[in-house]
Structure 1
Amino acid sequence: MLHISDNTKPDQSLARFKTIQTLTNKKHYKILNKIIIGISILGFGLLFLPWTQNISGTGAVTTLKPNQRPQSIQSVISGRIEKWYVQEGDFVKKGDTILYISEIKEDYMDPNLVSNTKNQVDAKKQAVQSYESKVASLSNQLRAIESEKKLKLEQAQNKIKQARLKIKSDSIDLIAVNTQLKIANTQYNRSLQLNKEGLKPMTDVEEKRLKLQDAEAKIINQENKLLSSKNDFINSKVEINRIIAEYSEKVAKSESDQFTAKSSQYDASAQVNKLENQYANYSIRNNMYYIRAAQSGYINRALQSGIGETIKEGTAIATIMPSAYDIAVETYVNPVDLPLIRKGEKVRVWFDGWPTIVFSGWPNASYGTFGGKIVAVENFISDNGKYRILIAPDPNEPKWPAQLSIGSGAQTLALLDTVPMWFEIWRTLNGFPPNYYKKDAKPTKEKK
């Protein structure tokens, strides 16, 4: 190295300072140095200790089932408050009367409304029975008409048969008369010839002429009888058509009356059903004047007060807290932590008012916490920007305090993976979420 200049490099070590020389020489400063070195080594070792990742949340004590939570007693109908049977803080059983209200609608103010409606129902039922009797009478009348029609048709058929036989008899008689006419004409001609020859007297010829004229007259009379028999036959056929038309009209009229009676019967039956519906509604409405407790519990607060105050349908009258309920905790977690929450996972819970020492990351060293299990995870974000989680007591852990009241505060800690402490510090400083994935256990090979 070339020595061009006489300037030397200044001493840059800490030993050139007087304070450092003092620390090095004094004994108690040497002990302090050892303590600092020991604390540094201890802090470095703590970085490799196991740390349990967790998700914390804040919530309140509630009930597991919706029907076990504080509820409001509502009025199904509108009315006017007449009398209170309970006061705030009273214990009521299911079915106990809470309040009595009176009617304010003019359609239901009649004190005999139910009995009058019952009388209307009975009257309509009697009308239905009357129509049923009328329908039955018309059915009997139809059967009588059909029977009479059948007999009349048989009578007309017999007349047709008689007319047909009369025609046949008159036709035979006409043939016989024609034969007699021929015989009489032959006898007359023979007598006339014999008279001309002088063998027969004139009186015999005149006698034969009279017989011939009598035979001609019988032919005319017999033809009239035959025509009369044919007319009777035609009249018998016409009578059958008249009978069919007459009784068809009677049947049509009876059937029309029957259908009218049935229509009136069905209309009366419909009115009976409507009146029975009204009667049932009025009877049920009378029972609604007494507002009763839907379940056993304690009256927390009366929401309506004065006597004479009118209320509408669905108006809340008082709040009741069920006496029997399954306790649970509802807590809220951030959206970034929701994918880590699973139904059935274990959760540590501590309540306001109970002495608690919690070491986040070392659950085994905590004191005063209780075990819980996730039973429901809400899939829609709440108004506070977080997701609601419902936690029930873990049956494998000690029971939760019996003195807990609904609505008291609670804090939760959901346990996740176990990682080194340095990893947790690094994750927190970088704003990374806890581990999303868990390593699956390797499947064991089956023995052959």
Structure 2
Amino acid sequence: MASLGGGLDRGGERALVTRGVGLEAIAIEQGSALSKLPCWENVKLSGSMFTASRAILTILLVFLIILEFVPWTQTIQATGKVSAYTPYDRPQKIESRITGRVKAWHIYEGVQVKKGDLVGELEDYDPTYMAPEILPLFEQRKEALEKTRQAALGRADQLNRRIGEMRKLVQAAVPSAEARVVEADNRVREAQQKVEQLKIDVDTAQLNVDRHRQLVRDGLVSQRELELTIQTEIGTKAGLQAAQANLLAAEQARSALNFGRDQITADVNQKLIDAIASRDAAVAEAAKATEQLAEIEYKQQGVQQRIEAAKLYAPMDGTVVRMARVGINETVKQGDNLVTISPLASDPAIEMFADGLDAPLLKPGRKVKILFFGVPAIPLPAWPGLMAGTRSGVIKVVDQIDDGKGNFRFWVVPDPEDPQPWPDQSQVRQGTNVLGWVIMNRVPLWYELWRRFNFFPPDYSEREPSIFEMFAPRSAGQGIK
């Protein structure tokens, strides 16, 4: 090895350390000699690796800058189909209301129809309604029952008049009989009073006879006066017997009058009861005829409705978009879909479904960006203002229950603040699939990645950000007020 004082070693190469005075004179050569060391060859980076490492560091730095400063608008993605918010403006299906065979078609697919137009006719298979003269038969039965009802009502009216007259007769006959009975009662009372008076007279005459007999024995009166007194007593007793006979006759007459009064009342009442029963029977007959008439009317209306059900009418103005593959004389069952009509003018709306995780954020009035299938558009949900070709809408209503699969339905209608209307119905028909993004808050990209990694729901924003706000990111805790 070369000494510290030499400039060259034994191999003739330049020394690594030059000779000097003290430690300050020692210097390390950085030249070609260093590159020729074996360890240097092992750790030396190639030019391509050095360039790649710088590129990776640059990309990583740019990525970190993007994560921190690039804004991201949170959205809730949903799918759905174009429909109509008003049920009347949705496609209507004409179903067969009876089981029968096709008699005739009056329309074809693509034709315009008006509400109430006859589109087809069916023939009923039910034997109850197949009789050709069934409606005239119902009319004949109705006429016969109507005559029976009118006759019964006529009899009831006549009996009502008769009952009224009989009641008047009762009101007149009963007071008359009562008056005769009262008169007989008066005669009986008079006879009773006369009998009582004569009984007193008999007792008085008996006392006079006894007194005169005592006076005759005492010699105070003559025998002639006694005889006259006895004669008076006998006459008084005879008068009493006559009065008692008159009383008995008066009582018998009164009993006869009472019986006659009761007989008259019973006869008149019986006739009145018979008349009332006959009237009630006539009324019952009329009621039965009325019931049968109502039943016939019900059956007739059922037949008419059944006949009318065999005719297919357009429920609205619209276009025939689909017809069943059923030809003339082919059988259809009740409930079979025969014709589908799409309305001409509709209230456009979109029926959309979102996952249950996002359901709490779905509320009426929130903005929605819509991409219609078949309409050229640029879907950039992170920057709604740059989504060319999309349309704006607002949530109209959200269902309070799920669809049975954990998804929630909500309706989206055109945004009245958006100057660009939705595509015409001729371009976007009912049933067209759509993609929708419910606009939420604007946050940095790193926050959005962190939120999705943790399965957190989006933040809510009260309004859609402007173009300037999209590229002026705010902190994750801030929202658009």
2:456 pairs, out of 418, 433, 437, with 433
Give the direction of change, closer, same or farther, for the CA distance of 1:102–1:351 in structure 2 (3 Å limit). Answer: same
Task: Quote the residue 1:44 is aligned against.
Answer: 64
1:446 aligned residue: none
Report Cα offsets for 1:260-287 as digits up to 9, x if no partner.
Answer: 6336525633652562354155236425
Shift of 1:325: 1.8
Q: Mark the CA change 1:122 to 1:23 in structure 2 (over 3 Å): closer, same or farther.
A: closer
> 1:42-441 to 2 correspondence within 5 Å?
42-47=62-67, 48-108=69-129, 109=131, 110-126=134-150, 127-168=152-193, 216=234, 219-220=237-238, 223-237=241-255, 239-240=257-258, 243-244=261-262, 247-248=265-266, 250-251=268-269, 254-255=272-273, 257-258=275-276, 261-262=279-280, 265=283, 268-269=286-287, 271-273=289-291, 275-276=293-294, 278-280=296-298, 282-283=300-301, 285-290=303-308, 291=311, 292-303=313-324, 305-309=326-330, 311=332, 313-382=334-403, 386-397=407-418, 398-402=420-424, 403=426, 404-428=428-452, 430-435=453-458
Deviation at 1:373, TM superposition (A): 1.2
Query: 1:298, CA displacement in angstroms?
Result: 2.4
146-155 or 107-116, which deviates more: 107-116
Which residue pairs with 2:21 in the alignment? Answer: none
What SS class does the counterpart of residue 135 from structure 2 fall into? coil
For structure 1, which segment, 210-219 or 154-163, has the greater mean C-alpha deviation from structure 2 after superposition?
A: 210-219
Of structures 1 and 2, the one scoring higher in RCO (CA 8 A, sep 6+) is 1
Instruction: Tell me the percent identity.
Output: 23
Q: CA deviation at 1:118?
A: 3.0
Cα displacement string for residues 120-164 of structure 1 (whole angstroms, at most 9, x for unaligned residues) = 452354123532442443243233223312221112212222333
Distance in 2 separating the partners of 1:304 and 1:122: 48
5+ residue gaps, structure 1, are 1-7, 442-448
The aligned residue for residue 471 of structure 2 is: none
Q: Does the 8 Å CA contact 1:54/1:361 hold for their aligned counterparts?
A: yes
User: 5+ unaligned residues in a row in structure 2: which ranges?
Assistant: 1-36, 462-476
Matched pairs, number: 417
What is the CA–CA distance in structure 2 between the aligned matches of 1:263 and 1:140, rounded to whole Å? 19
Deviation, 1:389, is 2.5
Judge conservation of contact 1:124–1:272 (CA < 8 Å) in 2. no
CA drift of 1:394 comes to 1.3
- Structure 2 distance, partners of 1:13, 1:65, is 79
Higher mean C-alpha deviation, range 359-368 or range 378-387: 378-387
Q: Give the stretch that moved more between structures: 309-318 or 322-331.
A: 309-318
Which deviations, in whole Å up to 9, do the C-alpha atoms of 1:172-222 show, x marking residues without a partner? 6787899899999999999xxx9xx9xx9xxxx8xx989977984784365
Q: Which is further off, 342-351 or 262-271?
A: 262-271
- After TM superposition, the score normalised by the length of structure 2 is 0.70
SS in structure 2 of the partner of residue 161 of structure 1: helix
> 109-118 or 358-367: which moved more?
109-118
User: Are the structure 2 counterparts of residues 380 and 253 from structure 1 closer, same or farther at C-alpha, using a change threshold of 3 Å?
Assistant: same
Q: Secondary structure at the match of 2:241?
A: helix
**Cα-Cα RMSD:** 4.4
